[in-house]
Structure 1
Amino acid sequence: MLKKWEDLPDFIKNDEVRPYYDSLKRKKVSLILKRLFDLIGGLVLLCILAIPMLIIAAMIKLDSEGPVFYRQERITTYGKHFRIHKFRTMVNNADRIGSAVTVGNDSRITKVGAALRGCRLDELPQVFDLISGNMSFVGTRPEAVKYVERYKPEYMATLLLPAGITSEASIRYKDEAELLDAAEDVDRVYTEDVLPGKMKYNLESIRTFSFIKDIITMVRTVFAVLGKDYD
């Protein structure tokens, strides 16, 4: 459920965010269903995926040195900091030797990591973030702290709901890494060109939020992973 407007962090309470907040406030049933679906779905998935995740974990350890999980700090509801669960797909300490975003031919990606990324299997451990409430099946992808610090006032509206595993922006920008391949300054191009485009979809999803739309986005994500392109 949404906090009261007066209880929100000051950096979220601005005139640009208020219309999105008022829209969400009228959708209490969808918000309740969203959380129940995330919790129950997360628990069911954990039971189903436990053995496959153990196998993937073993493959990662055999392929390269370092931990099984990648736990970069991200931002979710109301600006809360959390450490996301993802299978490590790059060399150990990759974020110290390159950008916080990944390009298509990134030399830091391991052999097993490349296979996991191709099918988005690196995101399976986010089931733990679903159960904890730090993430939802559908919502704005959790950004690294340094990018959130550059948000325009209106972008703060995306922090009214939990970060998501998938979103309309994720579908439209599923080839984001390839888009950044030719960039000389990846961080600048991401902040000035890619992020605003993604935010257009993220903000529209907040404005038109409903539980049914979340389900539709999940179905569209499956087709996108299977190769369907959405213009």
Structure 2
Amino acid sequence: MMKRVFDIVASFCGLVALCPVLLVIVALIKVSSSGSVFFCQTRVGRSGKLFQIYKFRTMIPQAEQHGEKITVGNDKRITPIGAFLRKTKLDELPQLFNVLKGDMSVVGPRPEVPEFVAEHPEYIRKVILSVRPGITDTASIEFSDEASLLGEKSDPRQAYIDEILPQKAEHYLRYAQNNSFCGDLRIIWATLWKVFKQAAE
């Protein structure tokens, strides 16, 4: 109950406080490329329920028709403003709406697309999907340079399934089995520190 109350208060306050930033990002996306401001994609949530995740669009319109569902290296589909939004993680801010709606939490396992969720063994999938997915978690911190790592692989999609997804699953399982409010606060702090550090590089 405390976690949900925190999610509602944090997401609402975040949206209000960041409203000027959100409006600037919307304007930058609109003037820099055609297409929708937001990117929506079907992800798997708690108990296997499907939902639409929101992000600021960082790629060309209909990007998934011109490549994989994962982003690798210096993906040519990424727009100039999109590269900045990705580096600073500002593209994730619309997920505060997902948190307010109850699709997600501030902290929790990152929601995957159905095809990647299906790669988990059933018993692992059941545990991971027992909690709400989140905007950030320990896997997000560890694999903050995921696109660069995959960019070095000859088959990025298979490398994600074989190498990165199992490691993420370990993080997700630990969180689902041992999550706590204090632990969530530590993850939020670690995430902010990581974002500021990367943005400064």
Match of 2:18 in 1: 49
**Which of 143, 146, 149 is the matching residue for 1:173?**
143
Deviation at 1:195, TM superposition (A): 0.3
In the alignment, structure 1 residue 102 sits paired with structure 2 residue 102: no
**Which of 151, 157, 164 is the matching residue for 1:194?**
164
Local SS of the residue matching 1:142: coil
For structure 2, list consecutive stretches of 5 or more residues without a partner in the other structure.
Answer: none
> Take 2:157 and 2:176, find their aligned partners in 1: how far apart are those partners?
25
> Take 1:174 and 1:88, find their aligned partners in 2: how far apart are those partners?
18
- Kindly report which structure 2 residues correspond to 1:51-200, keeping only aligned pairs within 5 A, or say none: 51-153=20-122, 154-200=124-170
Q: Deviations over 1:148-185 (max 9, x none)?
A: 12221213311111111000011111111111012222
For structure 1, list consecutive stretches of 5 or more residues without a partner in the other structure.
Answer: 1-31
Spell out structure 1 runs of 4+ moving beyond 4 A.
none
> Take 1:155 and 1:146, find their aligned partners in 2: how far apart are those partners?
12
> Take 2:96 and 2:31, find their aligned partners in 1: how far apart are those partners?
23
Question: Percent same amino acid at aligned positions?
Answer: 40
Partner amino acid, structure 1, of 2:114: V
> Take 2:78 and 2:99, find their aligned partners in 1: how far apart are those partners?
26
Local SS of the residue matching 1:226: helix
- Kindly report which structure 2 residues correspond to 1:33-48, keeping only aligned pairs within 5 A, or say none: 33-48=2-17
Deviation at 1:103, TM superposition (A): 1.0
> Take 2:162 and 2:168, find their aligned partners in 1: how far apart are those partners?
11
Deviation at 1:224, TM superposition (A): 1.2
Deviation at 1:41, TM superposition (A): 0.9
Conserved? CA contact 1:45–1:127, under 8 Å: yes
Deviation at 1:74, TM superposition (A): 0.7
Deviation at 1:127, TM superposition (A): 1.0
Match of 1:220 in 2: 190
What number of residue pairs does the alignment pair up? 197
Conserved? CA contact 1:39–1:131, under 8 Å: yes
TM-score (norm 2): 0.95
Partner amino acid, structure 1, of 2:163: D
Partner amino acid, structure 2, of 1:152: P
Deviation at 1:65, TM superposition (A): 1.1
Match of 2:175 in 1: 205
Deviation at 1:227, TM superposition (A): 2.3
Conserved? CA contact 2:104–2:134, under 8 Å: yes
> Take 1:104 and 1:180, find their aligned partners in 2: how far apart are those partners?
7
Partner amino acid, structure 2, of 1:108: R
Moved more, 68-77 or 152-161: 152-161
Conserved? CA contact 1:155–1:203, under 8 Å: no
> Take 2:196 and 2:15, find their aligned partners in 1: how far apart are those partners?
22
